[in-house]
Amino acid sequence: MRKKIVIGNWKMNKTVSESIRMVTELKNLLSGKQDAEIVVVPPFVSLHPCEIALHESSIMLGAQNVSAFDHGAYTGEVSAAMLLDVQCEYVLVGHSERREIFDESNQTLNQKLKQVLEYEMRPVLCIGESALTRKATKTFDFLQTQLQECLRGFVEDDLDALVIAYEPIWAIGTGDTAEPGQIQEVHQFIRDYLEKQYSKAMANMTPILYGGSVNQGNADVIMKQKDVDGVLVGGASLDAEHFVSIVQHAQ
């Protein structure tokens, strides 16, 4: 049985001191054994302070991005080795804001996946369609292309740590959440794709999360869908009590 995963992506929010206060509060609120894996994803500058603050906690640390390069003269980049050194266990790859605002291509994300997997962290590959693509009834073709190009060159044994997050662009930060039936339909499509391209075992093993205006009011019904293995939370993860409420729905 796949374990539920709840990831809080803080995006470009919270200073270092605010981040420390946040994870300290979460650590107190979520003390004890948790049935779900809980991951917080602060900005780069807060990763090391949060690592220290989360010592002896079950809460895991994730990064919002990673360089496609291993090391070298790449000003402003942060490598997978650096993330591993601050105890990151998860790394977001291809969040829609990286794709849309910073023009990250599937080919670039393929290289980023290689870096994360080489350093034995869990990549969370984000895929999702725009409102125009959904309106044109091309959602599944679009998602299949993203999966094919991002996973090109990988064999099944490479992808033991893979997590996929379906986050429809039209639902991110808009307050519009996909209907439960729409969410399940897409998650089942992704699982079927993994079975066809790799194996039934891999399809059954790979966690598939939903992201897109997830909050404490809708998390329960979202995570009750058969093929939804957790959530990637944006704005609601910035409030400790709201985030804890979402975690409790995953228990």
Q: Which residues are catalytic?
A: 95, 167
| Sign of CA pseudo-dihedral 27, 30, 33, 38 | negative
For residues 27 and 55, what is the distance between their CA atoms, to the nearest angstrom? 9
Nearest to 170 by CA among 207, 128, 225, 142: 128
Question: Of 94, 80, 73, which is closest to residue 44 (Cα–Cα)?
Answer: 80
d(CA 136, CA 130): 10
**Beta pairing partners, 166:** 127, 210
**Alpha-carbon separation of residue 9 from 156, 227, 238 (angstroms):** 28, 21, 8
Query: Which residue type is seen at 226?
Result: K
Q: In 3-state terms, what secondary structure has residue 122?
A: strand
